[in-house]
Amino acid sequence: MITGGGTGIGAATAIACNAARMPVVIAGRRLEPLQTVCNQLDRGLIVQVDVTDPDHVPTLLDSAEEAFGPPWAVLANAGHGLDRTAHGTSEAAMREIFEVNFFSTHLLLQEAARRMIARQQGGHLLATASCVSKFAPPYHGAYAATKAAQDLYCQAMRLELAPAGIHVSTVHPGTIVTDFFDVSANLSGRTGTRSGIDHTPKMFQQTPDRIASAIVKCLRRPVPEVWTSKLIRLSAAIRTYFPKMLDRSMRKMLESDRIESE
């Protein structure tokens, strides 16, 4: 079961899971992209929900259960970005991005875990946390904060749910070549400026299919964290030990695309 299943990583993962002969439930707000993906699935189900609606979780899980039985794997993938300075992010904007990116993950994985515990048959919970859960680029502090929250939340769940045979994994993609950055710029009122992908060297850019393949591999053999770039993972580790080193490279983004203080 995948939230944000109509586009990007969610859509690619749904198609990859279908190729691995898994029934797939995809959820999202917009019906048209969900239908496009579902048309490519042998055993697929669409559930149209808004993840900011607290009632979406029982609707989603109940619909999946009625169609295919209790879901063994649940991927909390819904989310969006925000291109703003940290000091220029309003309280309303910060609360909104946390509602979509973090609290929807909390509500979904919490209820899925409770049902898995009650069934006593194990399961697998996943969240798309991003590489920026480990370090924050300029203008993406709010987004990175939501991803760090997802990452730490799942770390705790992984230990708490292990006795019940439930795996918990976080997915840490790099810069994905999708419309993610265009959507983020539109939400931020920064259309016409350079997007995050423009600042990213080709070696750090990845396709949704690459991430989807890694997720399917994780479903077959669970691991705590899914990384699809050793170089990006190394950069995250270097940031922990040598924060000034990564800060210097990040400053180039500020020099090439300065924005006025909000």
- Note the pLDDT of residue 128: 97
- Note the pLDDT of residue 80: 94
Extended strands (E) in the chain: 2-3, 24-28, 44-48, 73-76, 123-128, 166-172, 175-176, 205-206, 225-227
Output the CA–CA distances (angstroms, integers) from residue 42 to 45, 69, 143, 185, in the order listed. Answer: 10, 16, 34, 35
In the structure encoding, which two tokens stand for residue 225, read together?
């964290």
* pLDDT for residue 68 is more than 60: yes
Question: What is d(CA 261, CA 256) in angstroms, rounded to the nearest whole number?
Answer: 15
pLDDT range class, residue 175, cuts 50, 70, 90: confident
* pLDDT for residue 18 is more than 80: yes
Across the range 56-78, mean pLDDT stands at: 97
Question: What is d(CA 4, CA 13) in angstroms, rounded to the nearest whole number?
Answer: 10
* pLDDT for residue 148 is more than 80: yes
Across the range 168-190, mean pLDDT stands at: 67
* pLDDT for residue 190 is more than 50: yes
pLDDT range class, residue 202, cuts 50, 70, 90: low
Structurally, at CATH architecture level, domain 2-256 sits in: 3-Layer(aba) Sandwich (3.40)
- Which of 62-76, 152-166, 228-242 shows the lowest mean pLDDT across its residues? 228-242
- Note the pLDDT of residue 191: 52
* pLDDT for residue 259 is more than 50: no
- Could you read off the pLDDT of 226-244 as tens digits, one per residue? 999 888 888 888 888 888 8
- Note the pLDDT of residue 245: 76
CA dihedral of 155, 161, 163, 166, whole degrees rounded to 10: -100
* pLDDT for residue 260 is more than 70: no
* pLDDT for residue 132 is more than 70: yes
Average pLDDT, the chain: 88
- Put simply, whether the predicted model's pTM sits higher than 0.75 gets the answer yes
Query: In 24-55, which residue ranges form alpha helices assigned H by DSSP?
Result: 31-38
pLDDT range class, residue 262, cuts 50, 70, 90: very low
- Note the pLDDT of residue 155: 98
Check the CA dihedral 148-89-50-196 and report its sign: negative
